[in-house]
Amino acid sequence: MQTYTPPLKDFEFILHDVLQVQSGDTPGYSDLDAEFSGAILEEAGKIARDVLMPLNAIGDTQGCTLENGVVRTPDGFKEAFDIIRDGGWTGLSADPEYGGQGMPFVLGTAVSEMSLSANQSFNMYLSLTAGAYEAIHTHGSEALKAKFLPKMVTCEWTGTMNLTEPHCGTDLGMMRSKADPVRDGTYKISGQKIFISAGEHDMVENIIHLVLAKIPGGPAGVKGISLFIVPKFLVNEDGSLGARNGVACGNLEEKMGIHGNSTCVMNYDEAEGYLVGEEHKGLRAMFTMMNAARLGVGLQGLAQASVAYQNALDYTRERLQGRDVTGAKNPTGTADPLIVHPDVRRSLMDQKSFIEGARAFLLWNATLLDAGELSDDKNAEGLLSLMTPVIKGFLTDKGFDMTVQAQQLYGGHGYIEETGASQFVRDARIAMIYEGANGIQALDLVGRKLASGGGKHVMAFFDLVKTFIKENEGDAALKADFLDPLKAASKDMQAAAMYFMSEAPKNPNAALAGSTDFMHLFGHVALGLMWARMAKVASEKLLEGTSDAAFYETKLATGRYYMARSLPETALRLARINSGAEPVMGLDAEAF
């Protein structure tokens, strides 16, 4: 049976000791003292643990069903949705003008991590709504915002994103869905969209679809795409629901995982739609939503790794099998617990050191997002934009790997659905694919983000690393275990960036052949930086004297593992990057 323990202490450590959000300049951060944020996270953790986690396996087993156009969610989902709505959790980071609580994104990120760990499929109904809210909030007219946002903030209505069509995923320029203008200023939307998460379900009275479509006569390709709101039920002037709109779920997909979320084929047949933002500028508006969504998907990688690890850890403590090679640890029992074995320990440390490093990395990025949005800090925004593909691609690749490692610790029992280890693997798998498959993230990083602003964002990242190392190199406790490996890894990353800069103008394939490697290289350096920062705080706490020495010593040991065993991967990634385009493109496409 799957269980979940909210990582409250780790949130406190990262938010208050490492990132020190309570003393940040960003508006709203001064409220984030340990007591206030601790109270919110504790309550959110209870809901994750007690309400969402028990529904996770049920969602996987039952899945969603479509009957006569109605999608039924798994038993208990509707009741859980009511609890979360009634508790006011849906509008945590939303604009108070539309009924939100206006809290910083960094707090919402911690709350989301817990919901995602406890039940990814369920949480997607909420996070898609938040994404749709964000796009309308940023690009919609005042009238559209007033009409749709309040009920989306409360999740009386949920939202969706409609991009993909059967013949076009990444390449949205080939889109066929069309939007014919009507004299009253509305549009008639027609076409078929696929892979629409939460596209239809029975937990709310209305669903607000955000749909990309082309207005006839507009520019070809992605420059002719516009964004529309298409509600499932039309909304009258007084806010009451009117006629059913021309949109329906045509089919539910059978998927590898996230069975509790309805993945719909959506058919639009002259459905009434309202333009969001300007004509033909739809892709930019949708990307507002996709950047936040990509952070959220990176968070899914972490969240699934975290819950899979917790369950596997429990199993390695309970399952008795074999003896410690250095002497029995449970001499009166029939065998020692699995956790005594070095290769089991290696796997647990891989998982633990990734999870805690990734958590710090994500929360740091959430503070950058807050700084960009609330303080209009352009440097923070630029750095976040550079790291967004790393968060999405690296954290979901690694997050999936970690769920596989967790499953492996169960032996044969991990392959049996009963233990729940398989669900974490199957659910984690989607995060590598949606919101831009990880190869696209790598392309975005190397082909666009790296050189953006003349390379100033990546220089800012290198400066952060260099400054941290310089400021702390007198600290003997940090030097050998943390600063030296970080310096070496950062040099590998600089060498890779140099290679791209010198080779790409001559041969773009030379850079793109190494794009996935660079995304991972960057991810490791970023987690290495986070571990160095965490180690600094932990060793200061231990020097000061603390009643909780065990917590900080565990942090240091976990960080040392990451630096000694995970970070050296940067050299391998650099070697691959330096091998250039030739090995990758050496074969003609026909020769495969």
Residues noted as catalytic = 435
Report the nearest approach of a copy of itself to the CB of residue 513 (Å): 5
- Identify any residues that bridge with 208 across adjacent strands, giving them in sequence order: 159, 231
The token pair that represents 554 in the structure block: 């565990």
- Identify any residues that bridge with 79 across adjacent strands, giving them in sequence order: none
- Under the criterion CB under 8 A, does residue 516 sit at the interface with a copy of itself? yes
Site for a copy of itself in 240-269 (CB under 8 A): 253-257
Segment interacting with a copy of itself (CB under 8 A) among 36-44, 181-189, 356-364, 425-433: 425-433
Q: Of the two residues 174 and 498, which places its CB atom closer to a copy of itself in the complex?
A: 174
Pairing relation of β-strands 263-276 and 187-197?
Answer: antiparallel
- Under the criterion CB under 8 A, does residue 206 sit at the interface with a copy of itself? no
Q: How far apart are CA 74 and CA 586, in angstroms?
A: 50
Q: Of the two residues 346 and 470, which places its CB atom closer to a copy of itself in the complex?
A: 346
Q: Of the two residues 273 and 436, which places its CB atom closer to a copy of itself in the complex?
A: 436
> Contact with a copy of itself (CB under 8 A): which of 29, 187, 400, 552?
400
Site for a copy of itself in 463-502 (CB under 8 A): none
- Identify any residues that bridge with 343 across adjacent strands, giving them in sequence order: none
Q: What is the DSSP string of 133-162?
A: HHHHHHHS-HHHHHHHHHHHHTTSEEEEEE
Q: Of the two residues 92 and 196, which places its CB atom closer to a copy of itself in the complex?
A: 196
Site for a copy of itself in 124-143 (CB under 8 A): none
Angle between helices 120-139 and 53-62 (to 10 degrees): 100
Angle, vertex CA 240, rays to CA 237 and CA 246, nearest 5 = 90
For residue 215, give the nearest of 274, 171, 160 by alpha carbon. 274
- Under the criterion CB under 8 A, does residue 513 sit at the interface with a copy of itself? yes
Site for a copy of itself in 553-582 (CB under 8 A): 553-554, 557-558, 560-561, 564-565, 568-569, 571-572, 575-576, 579, 581-582
- Under the criterion CB under 8 A, does residue 325 sit at the interface with a copy of itself? yes
Report the nearest approach of a copy of itself to the CB of residue 146 (Å): 34
Segment interacting with a copy of itself (CB under 8 A) among 168-176, 199-207, 471-479, 493-501: 168-176
- Under the criterion CB under 8 A, does residue 195 sit at the interface with a copy of itself? yes
> Contact with a copy of itself (CB under 8 A): which of 42, 318, 417, 473?
417
Q: Of the two residues 361 and 410, which places its CB atom closer to a copy of itself in the complex?
A: 410
> What is the CA 101 to chain-centroid distance, rounded?
22
- Under the criterion CB under 8 A, does residue 449 sit at the interface with a copy of itself? no
For residue 198, give the nearest of 126, 292, 109, 257 by alpha carbon. 126
Q: Of the two residues 167 and 244, which places its CB atom closer to a copy of itself in the complex?
A: 167
- Under the criterion CB under 8 A, does residue 321 sit at the interface with a copy of itself? yes
For the chain, the C-alpha Rg in angstroms (whole number) is 24
> Contact with a copy of itself (CB under 8 A): which of 68, 240, 326, 332?
326
- Under the criterion CB under 8 A, does residue 164 sit at the interface with a copy of itself? yes
- Under the criterion CB under 8 A, does residue 437 sit at the interface with a copy of itself? yes
The token pair that represents 158 in the structure block: 């949920």
Query: 65 — phi, psi (to 5°)?
Result: -130, 145
The token pair that represents 45 in the structure block: 């953790």
> Contact with a copy of itself (CB under 8 A): which of 193, 515, 535, 541?
515
Site for a copy of itself in 266-285 (CB under 8 A): none
CA dihedral 557, 560, 562, 567 (to 10 degrees): 180
Report the nearest approach of a copy of itself to the CB of residue 515 (Å): 6
> Contact with a copy of itself (CB under 8 A): which of 51, 179, 210, 512?
512
> Contact with a copy of itself (CB under 8 A): which of 27, 76, 99, 439?
439
Amino acid occupying residue 36: F
# residues near a copy of itself by CB under 8 A: 95
Q: Of the two residues 498 and 575, which places its CB atom closer to a copy of itself in the complex?
A: 575
Report the nearest approach of a copy of itself to the CB of residue 294 (Å): 15
Site for a copy of itself in 331-390 (CB under 8 A): 334-335, 337, 339-349, 352
> Could you count the other beta carbons within 10 Å of the beta carbon of residue 70?
11
- Identify any residues that bridge with 189 across adjacent strands, giving them in sequence order: 179, 271
- Under the criterion CB under 8 A, does residue 39 sit at the interface with a copy of itself? no
Report the nearest approach of a copy of itself to the CB of residue 585 (Å): 6
Contact 292, 137 (CB under 8 A): no
Sequence-distant (≥ 6) Cβ neighbours of residue 206 within 8 angstroms: 151, 156, 157, 231, 232, 233, 235, 241
Report the nearest approach of a copy of itself to the CB of residue 43 (Å): 26
> What is the CA 450 to chain-centroid distance, rounded?
21
- Under the criterion CB under 8 A, does residue 58 sit at the interface with a copy of itself? no
> Contact with a copy of itself (CB under 8 A): which of 275, 430, 493, 527?
430
Q: Of the two residues 144 and 404, which places its CB atom closer to a copy of itself in the complex?
A: 404
Q: How far apart are CA 497 and CA 578, in angstroms?
A: 10
- Under the criterion CB under 8 A, does residue 549 sit at the interface with a copy of itself? no
- Under the criterion CB under 8 A, does residue 297 sit at the interface with a copy of itself? no
Report the nearest approach of a copy of itself to the CB of residue 213 (Å): 17
Pairing relation of β-strands 157-162 and 206-214?
Answer: parallel
Report the nearest approach of a copy of itself to the CB of residue 349 (Å): 6
Contact 187, 275 (CB under 8 A): yes
Q: How far apart are CA 490 and CA 524, in angstroms?
A: 9
Angle between helices 105-118 and 120-139 (to 10 degrees): 150
Q: Of the two residues 437 and 460, which places its CB atom closer to a copy of itself in the complex?
A: 437
Report the nearest approach of a copy of itself to the CB of residue 220 (Å): 11
- Under the criterion CB under 8 A, does residue 175 sit at the interface with a copy of itself? no
For residue 105, give the nearest of 350, 331, 322, 368 by alpha carbon. 368
Angle between helices 120-139 and 282-318 (to 10 degrees): 160
Say which residue the tokens 């565990």 belong to: 554
Report the nearest approach of a copy of itself to the CB of residue 16 (Å): 22
Contact 415, 385 (CB under 8 A): no
Amino acid occupying residue 5: T
Segment interacting with a copy of itself (CB under 8 A) among 2-10, 121-129, 282-290, 407-415: 407-415
The token pair that represents 182 in the structure block: 């009507």
